[in-house]
Chain A
Amino acid sequence: MRISELPPRAGVGFKPQHFRDIDATPQPVGFFEVHAENYMGAGGMPHAHLARLRQRYALSIHGVGLSIGSAHPLDRAHLSRLRALCDRYEPQSFSEHLAWSSHGVFFNDLLPLPYTKDTLQRVTDHVDEVQNSLARQMLLENPATYLLFEESTIPETDFLHEVARRTGCGLLLDVNNVFVASTNHDVDPYDYLARFPLHHVREIHLSGHAATTDEAGAPLLIDTHDSPVLDRVWTLYAAVIRKIGRVPTLIEWDDKLPDWAVLRKEAQDAQAIMDRLPAHVAA
């Protein structure tokens, strides 16, 4: 089984609008990440871009449609497409979400699941199936959630820990999601992190979010990926890095795209946080 092995540097989510700028000169980024489903056409520009990037940079393929948290069996046809994509580009890492998105139809959103013995077993089985099918370790990402399930009996952090322990998968720690979900559930994000199985983390995601309130006036944060990483998320990220050293860290920006220079700067800011680590923690 191929182990997830991105370089422990800052990377950026690739968008075709930035290709020309990125390709013009070597960029100070450790890797690029793409959404798997955008590269499932037969040919053309998307593959030309990706092939070119892959020649020069490490690559992370990030799935958004596998529905690993689904009560139903995984979509075998989709798994085959993912396998073909991984065979074609040999990415350094493949990751997916602790969420579901299909139920007969595809909802195109990362929907939440209750955390119970049953769902733990099912997610574990699904992660096993993905890893066997791709012959590689996958990373599982903690979700941004807006509500809870009354039937949940397992804390999210324990749930992720248990999936990683049983399957050997790595974890993708989305620090923005930690901040968003903790706030939404009225929990201190540092408490969440204190419980998180950080030794399984192989990649970090950082992105922007929007703030509103619910009907009770409680803060309600929305994972929008359309703005810079917020200061409080940077601070949380720095705390994680101080604990576990350098980790491949992705700047995710999917909507209302800024110029490439803005994304490059965000990546450099993440890199600077890692570079400031004292030598004995850095590794």
Chain B
Amino acid sequence: MLRRLWTGSPLTSRREGNSSMTAHYQERFARALLSPSLALPEGIACNSGVAPVKRFGIYRNNVTTGLAQALAIRFPITEKIVGEEFFAAMARAFVKENLPRSPVLLDYGSDFDRFVAAFEPARSLPYLSDIVRLENAQIRAYHAADAPPLDKRAFADLKSDDLDKLRLELHPSAAVVRSHFPIVTIWSMNSGESRLGPIEEWRPEQALVVRPHLSVTTRLLPPGGAVFLESVAGGKTLGASAQEAWHSDETFDLAACLAAALAAGVFASFTRGRP
């Protein structure tokens, strides 16, 4: 009889169902999808005459597994570090507590680092959540707005006094990721950009992520580089930003840092202004 509910007799000759039930099908279905018990929503059926536990389970599984897979695609190096199985379990635990709010999944997992930092089974890898933050910066850069990067010779005609008062706008894709751990080294060993091996100097590293054209690049920032770029991004002049960088690290080399930043395509535009 149920079979006829799917392909049965024509529209006009059928009896209309209980409309109050209809109004709530979605609520019942959604609640059962989210419930940790395997209870079925009321009002579902199948033609084989059993309670459709396995059938409903396909939907349950699609939701969790699909979103966990989306995270695996978004965080490939994090997955590589902990292994597929560990990552899948961690991702499923995250998904259960953090379903997306939007049908656009490009940002899904932007807060995954906080979950990973508090995820008990991952405690032996204290740098893991910083790798997650680095991969988040990379995916944001991947989808960021397009803009031509400032040319390498953009400042060639400026006098040093003008240079001091410059305000620079960072490229829309640019981000600085700070860490207490050697995240750039760990990331590049696992992404195949450098050879996998023991890390001799276990020191803090700051990463610069930027996508001046189509490819996302990840670089190790020199001492003071993170402070400098964050200060520039905050709207301070080049001179003031360099001062801040020197205060944070006396080995900061403005000329080298500026040249490297220009070569990386970090800046989108500049204006001359007062300090």
- A76 CB, min distance to chain B CBs, angstroms: 13
A102 contact set on B, CB distance < 8 A: 103
Count of chain A to chain B residue pairs whose CB atoms are closer than 8 Å in the complex: 203
CB pair B14–A153 under 8 Å, yes or no, is: yes
Chain A residues 64 to 94 lying within 8 A of chain B, measured CB to CB, are 64-67, 70-72, 75, 78, 81
Fill in one digit per residue for A191-225: 1 if any B CB lies within 8 Å of its CB, else 0.
11001000000000000000000111110101000
CB pair A108–B67 under 8 Å, yes or no, is: yes
- B210 CB, min distance to chain A CBs, angstroms: 12
B29 at the A interface (CB under 8 A): yes
CB pair A146–B52 under 8 Å, yes or no, is: yes
CB pair B55–A146 under 8 Å, yes or no, is: yes
- A283 CB, min distance to chain B CBs, angstroms: 30
CB pair B3–A185 under 8 Å, yes or no, is: yes
A101 contact set on B, CB distance < 8 A: 103
A117 at the B interface (CB under 8 A): yes
Chain A residues 105 to 137 lying within 8 A of chain B, measured CB to CB, are 105-109, 111, 113-119
Query: Which A residue sits closest to B141, measured CB to CB?
Result: A44
A117 contact set on B, CB distance < 8 A: 16, 19
B8 at the A interface (CB under 8 A): yes
CB pair A155–B44 under 8 Å, yes or no, is: no
Query: Which B residue sits closest to A216, measured CB to CB?
Result: B48
B17 contact set on A, CB distance < 8 A: 114, 116, 150-153
- A73 CB, min distance to chain B CBs, angstroms: 13
- A63 CB, min distance to chain B CBs, angstroms: 8
B259 at the A interface (CB under 8 A): no
Q: Per a CB cutoff under 8 Å, which of B6, B67, B143 touches A148?
A: B6
**A118 in contact with B19 given A111-B29, A146-B52, A150-B44 (CB within 8 Å):** yes
A149 contact set on B, CB distance < 8 A: 5, 25, 43-45
- A105 CB, min distance to chain B CBs, angstroms: 4
Query: Which B residue sits closest to A120, measured CB to CB?
Result: B11
**A156 in contact with B50 given A65-B103, A150-B2 (CB within 8 Å):** no
B47 contact set on A, CB distance < 8 A: 148, 185-186, 218
B9 at the A interface (CB under 8 A): yes
B124 contact set on A, CB distance < 8 A: none
A1 at the B interface (CB under 8 A): no
A258 at the B interface (CB under 8 A): no
- B61 CB, min distance to chain A CBs, angstroms: 9
State in angstroms the CA–CA spacing of A48 and B8 once bound together: 48
CB pair A158–B44 under 8 Å, yes or no, is: no
A-B contacts, 12 listed (Cβ < 8 Å): A41-B106, A42-B144, A42-B145, A43-B145, A46-B143, A108-B67, A115-B5, A119-B22, A147-B52, A156-B7, A187-B3, A187-B7
Q: Which residues of A contact B (CB under 8 A)?
A: 37-38, 40-48, 64-67, 70-72, 75, 78, 81, 100-109, 111, 113-119, 146-158, 162, 181-182, 184-187, 191-192, 195, 214-218, 220, 222
Q: Add 6 more A-B contacts to A118-B19, A195-B7, A215-B53 (CB < 8 A).
A: A71-B23, A78-B103, A103-B27, A114-B43, A116-B17, A149-B5
